Chain A
Amino acid sequence: MKTIFEMSSPGRTGSSLPELDVPVSSGIPEEFSRGKKTGLPEVTENQVMRHFVNLSTMNYHVEKGMYPLGSCTMKYNPKHFENLARLSGLSGIHPLAPEAMAAGTLEIMYKLADYLCEITGFERASLQPAAGAQGEFCGLMLIKSYLESIGEKHRNEVLMPDSAHGTNPATSTLADCVIVGVKSNEFGEVDPDDLREKAGPNTAAFMLTNPNTLGLFESRIEELTSIVHKAGGLNYMDGANMNALLGVARPGDMGFDVCHLNLHKTFATPHGGGGPGAGPVTCTAELAQFLPDPVVIQNKDGSYSLSKKQNSFGRLLAFYGNTGVLYKAFAYIRTLGSAGLREVTENALINANYLKARLEEYFDIPFNNGPCMHEFVLSGDRQAENGVKTLDMAKRLLDYGFHAPTVYFPLIVHEAMMIEPTETEGLEDLDAFAEAMISISRECDEKPYLVTDAPVNTPVLRLDEVQAVKELCIVEPPDEEGQ
């Protein structure tokens, strides 16, 4: 499709501003003046609408169909919450307005922090992290601050299973820690013996996703967290898979010291094509004194204010978090309550196990020793015998009107396809997806070219990623006039 720049014609505009109602001052001094155009397009409002609406039709999205994306929890995003976050009283407030004049937002933030602590079994929270990865950074900084406070600053090793999300090692590097890999055992769970061997006087933290990225609950969790505590380290839970535990079990009860949540996964706030998310962190009372500045507190008179702490490790964003996202997650918890949250998890588990049962005849399922939690991992090994890669099957699913699953992750499964249907799909949706997968597995046997040529029913065919890197075009080149 043409870019917005190619639609530009001098003199067109989509803007409408009042006339300047004050006398013109002397203007920008010559030496600071730009003196040339910016290169922004010149288009009318209706052109802009048509352009972006046409672009939008080339996107797959939750309201078009199912996203079986493992560890991403692509559930339905309730419409009402979009309206609520847009109430002018909530969206139109300046972050530095006097606290008494932002009482409504502060109340929501205070209550949301309280609810998230209740859901995860912790004492205190920070709503500041903008996304899961920033929540991980927050968590490791809390742990480092705590260790420093007890004279254990030298501890710099983060223990991490080989099935960890990529953000875990990247965050550890950002937090100036060294990664020590921990093996998985034949059940797809962390090997306690290996953890025992690796944990020691330099252990700062153990970072674990639970349920893990195979969709399995770490059944020996008590043993794992106590090994780390005995070694003098702390336990961090990556809450990416919290959709499996709502109202069912709490990380705070299992020996974890801190966890982050992905509100854009578990708490139904939209993914926005890649963001904004929100990655609040909840933690024990011991770690609370180090939380990032500021946090919302309730005063004796019942009012709310922003408080700075003496021992805070610092600040993650200019302000207090992705507030507009927080509003929606708060609305979600208020809509569902305790029973509704548990219902989410129960149906997420039922849906995942049903799909697994429907597909196990047709695909290899490593570590399949019983029920999974909210997701499961297939291997495309069987289909690979016909020269079809997992990536091909993922692309073929696009032709069938589904989004692809998460592929080639976790790294410990060959030709992995990680499938998480979420609770907001129904039996008919799951059956349709299963039929598509079964049909593709047949194609792999009978007409593999259909799969390796896929997708063919999409707005563009398979794109050349190598060319994109080699020829690196990441901005539209300037027109003849320059910018």
Chain B
Amino acid sequence: MSRFIQNRGEHTEEMFRVIGVKGISDLLKSIPLKYQLKEDLDLPDPASELELQREFEGYADRNTGADKICFIGAGAYDHFIPAAVDHILLRSEFYTAYTPYQAEVSQGTLQAVFEYQTMIARLTGMEAANASMYDGASAAAEACLMAMRATRKQRILMAGSLNPRWADVVRTYLKRDDFEINEIPFLEDGTLDLEIAAKLIEGGTAAILVQYPNYFGLIEDLQPVADLIHEHGGLLAVAADPVALPLLRSPGDAGADIVVGEGQSMGIPMSYGGPYIGFMATRKKLARKMPGRIIGRTSDRADQEGYVLTLQTREQHIRREKATSNICSNQALMALANTVYLSLMGEEGFREVSNQCFHKSHYLQQKLLEIPGVSSVFADTPFFREFTVSFPVSSLDIHDGLMKEGILAGLPMVELGEGVMLITATEKRTKQEMDLYVKIASDICCGGGDQ
């Protein structure tokens, strides 16, 4: 018997008696005999807690990339996480709780997520936010669907400088004959080609979806994009990096109508791609068009303040086929992680994280550009935390050479050129680590080292 099951022989005998059956086979009789398994499943023998601990330590050890110095970004980032975040996440009261449909016994989750919604709205410069989506990519897809619902138009213009994996998710969610997605190419400096966008936009566009900063780390000027789409009666959807927002003009300020993004950078480990969290914020007038759960403040019968899931008539369990989305489970515990992280970092701390990402990535870029033959891919376009350079040798050689020294150099982007690499420096990277990166890269570029 497993350590999670209390019933023992004497209990089950008593229970069978009360039920009025002889044994388990009587309870299974509605399953046609031909479908009742006669043999055990082909699974490995059960492992004790100690054996499983050892087995898992083996898997962890085989993830040799986990203890390396990480300069890879491209949608997941190696940021510092204060210890207090996990202490809260490990409270059974939060992590073993169900979805807060029974508001009277779920005020902890509900208020925490209300605070999360507030933080997301403030960071993005918007007036409303939902309780989370699966990840940034699916949130971007849902933003497109929301814009199509709100405008009753069926075309999306998607920035060519959007994270390609996110673009794939958007295409998957919008894969219908009556929907159209067009891509806005980017110019030589990496920013959007608005002349082409102006041509593509004619004849009914629901939204432009643009990443801020874009996939290459470049800071896009949102204002002209907002002006263009608004002139044509559509919405501006921005996929924003929350870590950049303490420094950058907020998307709301620049005219965005829907802001989505990936919240992994705010207190969530990289964990090989998940669980992460997508956030979504919008203007008040569009709040009722949002997908997903939303927490609202109200009062109880004694006039005490309290929180409930609200605007539920948008959701699948009420509206069924007419719901704004099929989403049910979201990433609530990750929203709690974001909330605790942002509370700890606070106004000053989060700006300092942002600031350090900015200056460290610029330091590394400058030092790499000093290596003979290394050039910037997108000239002088301002960037945040992440940048591309072109090495005079294959970026795969740089990648492999640095890997030998325990450094994950970045993401080679051969589609932009053989020597191109997308490189990230968060607040966790030290000057010493970056200087080592530059030295090794320099050796490889100049034909030194053991290449």
Contact = CB atoms under 8 A, between A and B. Distances in A.
Contact of A82 (B90, B168, B356): B90
Contact of A15 (B247, B294, B349): B349
Contact of A4 (B45, B250, B320, B343): B343
A58 B15 CA distance: 34
Given A90-B272, A133-B316, 15 more contacts: A21-B430, A32-B221, A39-B122, A78-B4, A95-B272, A97-B65, A264-B329, A331-B52, A334-B44, A334-B55, A353-B15, A354-B15, A403-B98, A460-B107, A464-B299
B119 interface: yes
Interface string B55-97: 1111111111111101010111010101010111011111111
* Minimum-distance CB pairs A-B, first 8: A319-B273, A89-B60, A15-B349, A426-B6, A314-B172, A101-B65, A272-B333, A104-B59
Given A14-B349, A63-B96, A33 B84 contact: no
Contacts of B35: 221-222, 249-250, 253-254
Main secondary structure on A side of the interface with B: loop
Contacts of B151: none
Contacts of A331: 52, 56
A108 interface: yes
A475 B118 contact: yes
Interface residues of B, number: 206
23 contacts: A3-B118, A38-B350, A43-B343, A93-B270, A96-B75, A97-B65, A97-B408, A98-B65, A101-B68, A130-B329, A134-B138, A316-B138, A319-B76, A322-B274, A323-B273, A334-B47, A338-B42, A339-B46, A351-B7, A371-B27, A409-B317, A423-B5, A461-B302
Interface string A116-145: 001100000000001111101100010000
Given A119-B41, A474-B117, A474-B129, A273 B28 contact: no
Nearest to A313: B172
B199 interface: no
Contacts of A20: 355-356, 359-360
Contacts of A287: none
Given A25-B366, A41-B346, A249 B36 contact: yes
Nearest to A136: B326
A107 B247 contact: no
A341 B41 contact: yes
B293 A91 contact: no
B369 interface: no
Interface in B219-271: 219, 221, 245-250, 253, 262, 269-271
Contact of A316 (B122, B172, B304, B384): B172
| B60, B121, B168 interface centre (most CB from chain A within 10 Å) | B60
Contact of B332 (A26, A275, A321, A474): A275
B60 A88 contact: yes
Interface string A272-298: 111111010000000000001100000
Contacts of A150: none
A219 B28 CA distance: 11
